[in-house]
Structure 1
Amino acid sequence: MSGDTDSAHPPVREVVVPDKSGLPRLEPVGREQDAPSALVLVLHGGRAHSRESGERKRLTYRRMVPFARALSRRGPAVYLLRYRYRGWNAPAKDALRDAQWALAELAERFPGVPVALVGHSMGGRAALGAAGSSNVVAVCALAPWLDRSDPVVQLDGRTVLIAHGDRERWTDPGESYRYAVRAKERGVAVCRFDVPGAGHFMLTRVGDWHALTQRFVLGALGIEPVDPTIANALHQPTPTGLRAVLHGAHT
């Protein structure tokens, strides 16, 4: 993974407070709620290595704003995380540390409220890695940047959806498939969708990316009934449920 995309790495169980470079930011999307019944934390992409600031002007940030806005109109309280840095920066894994910090903040503000994580590319890796936080119930990873070092133990008890386009040029769909296989073998409730004709930046079939994300998140949070296509993929054995093909009305 390289360029203006994303990267992420294994989870750190404990919450690590970010360093003196300053705290990341939790930015509410849509109407703020005093007592939400469900939360969504949206994690955007980035770069493998960069100590530049995680500014809102970045395309990686702006790419996830429509996802966040659409979800906010369906009931849950939604927050976008602005990282301290643009990069993953292994071995520091800054985006993962920031995601863990954000989840601890949400747990303090809204005790007992379930959280669904939605992440793209580096944000997908951070979302999967941070899934071990006690308030997380579901993870939606879109075109996640993964490799064989990423653990799956933190996914126990969570529901996971991974989606990857077949015209991907930045991250490896094969790695997300192998990751899903490892999770499935462990007993995690995981499904994975191939998105024909789509690349990394989700510009092709954008309506289908949005629809899949919304159906999964709202079902996992109990806001809407679980989507039957997703439920079927979750219950299918490997490889069927991990190579489900996303057929949609939006092209």
Structure 2
Amino acid sequence: MTAPETRTAPDGGSALVLRHAPGAPQAAVLLLHGGRADGLTAPTWLNLPGRRMRPFASAVRRAARPHPLLVAEVRYRHRGWNGPRGDAARDARRALDELRDLTAPELPVVLVGHSMGGRAALRVAGDPRVAGVVALAPWIPAGEPVEQLDGRTLLVLHDERDRITEARRSWAYLARARAAGAHGAGIVMSEGRHAMLRDAGAWHRLTGLGAAAALGLAALPEPLRAAADGPGDGRTTAAEVLAALDHPHPGRTGP
């Protein structure tokens, strides 16, 4: 992997950190880590939520092989969402603008966001280049908009024992987004709670698969395809999807 490279935005503060930038990428993945409801201080150099997203970057690249991907992270100016300010979403939009300046205009992008980063990813999914969102244990307060997901791929992963964000809100949001035109599915994770540490390999693998499939670079296993295309609630379990991956049947490429 190439060394991290920070791009500086015109206002002197970069919202984008490149983690892997091949010479001719076919698509881009933008990672958005978690944060707090409120917090106006800047993240520290340690930034544990940001470090937690690094394995997801590797997983997405593995799932998309042999197709080269540009992988980048959003750099937040503040730790929190901060109410109507929506700081994380504002920084996500800035990062998408910076990414647009670095790549071909038609390069598709998938957003992978955890917790507050999941909320930010969903908010900015209406950007014309965004092909889809993978939301990991997302923070979704009541009344979050869904219209921007029309025509996009949406994959939501949540452990129903999560005590920080509520899986029931994720499933309600998924249902609303599907009704609004999103091609969406949910994966009920058996372990991991909010930090996604237990059974981390399953979180990484399924996220990589979902992101690559949203970009049309990988095939969806049958349980996930059926959940996304079927008339039900759009949910399946991690165990079902992983079993299908380990014992594959002929499938199609893309969502």
* Aligned 1:18-97 pairs, distance under 5 A: 23-30=13-20, 32-73=21-62, 74=65, 75-97=68-90
Q: Which amino acid aligns with 1:80?
A: E
- State how far apart, in whole Å, the 2-side matches of 1:122 and 1:102 are: 16
State yes or no: 1:119 paired with 2:113: yes
RMSD: 2.0
- State how far apart, in whole Å, the 2-side matches of 1:56 and 1:72 are: 25
Q: Where in structure 2 are there 5+ consecutive unaligned residues?
A: 1-8, 244-255
Write out the 4+ residue segments of structure 1 that deviate beyond 6 Å after TM superposition.
none
Shift in Å at residue 237 of structure 1? 1.8
In structure 2, the residue matched to 1:203 is 197
Q: Structure 1, residues 30-59: CA drift from partner, whole Å, max 9, x if none?
A: 3x2233110000000000000111234121
- State how far apart, in whole Å, the 2-side matches of 1:23 and 1:233 are: 41
In structure 2, the residue matched to 1:107 is 100
In structure 1, the residue matched to 2:250 is none
Which shows bigger deviation, 65-74 or 80-89?
65-74
In structure 1, the residue matched to 2:237 is 245
Q: CA contact under 8 A between 2:137 and 2:165: conserved in structure 1?
A: yes
- State how far apart, in whole Å, the 1-side matches of 2:45 and 2:147 are: 32
Q: Which amino acid aligns with 2:32?
A: L
- State how far apart, in whole Å, the 2-side matches of 1:228 and 1:184 are: 19
- State how far apart, in whole Å, the 2-side matches of 1:19 and 1:170 are: 36
Q: CA contact under 8 A between 1:114 and 1:136: conserved in structure 2?
A: yes
Q: CA contact under 8 A between 1:122 and 1:144: conserved in structure 2?
A: yes
Q: Which amino acid aligns with 2:228?
A: L
**Highest RCO, 1 vs 2 (Cα 8 Å, sep ≥ 6):** 1
* Aligned 1:90-239 pairs, distance under 5 A: 90-110=83-103, 111-239=105-233
Shift in Å at residue 230 of structure 1? 2.1
- State how far apart, in whole Å, the 2-side matches of 1:122 and 1:211 are: 21
Shift in Å at residue 228 of structure 1? 2.8
Q: Where in structure 1 are there 5+ consecutive unaligned residues?
A: 1-17
Q: Structure 1, residues 69-97: CA drift from partner, whole Å, max 9, x if none?
A: 33245431100111111111111000000
Shift in Å at residue 144 of structure 1? 0.1
Q: CA contact under 8 A between 1:37 and 1:76: conserved in structure 2?
A: yes
Shift in Å at residue 106 of structure 1? 1.3
- State how far apart, in whole Å, the 2-side matches of 1:131 and 1:47 are: 21
Count of residue correspondences:
229
Which shows bigger deviation, 215-224 or 42-51?
215-224
Shift in alpha-carbon separation, 1:225–1:197, aligned structure 2, 3 A: closer
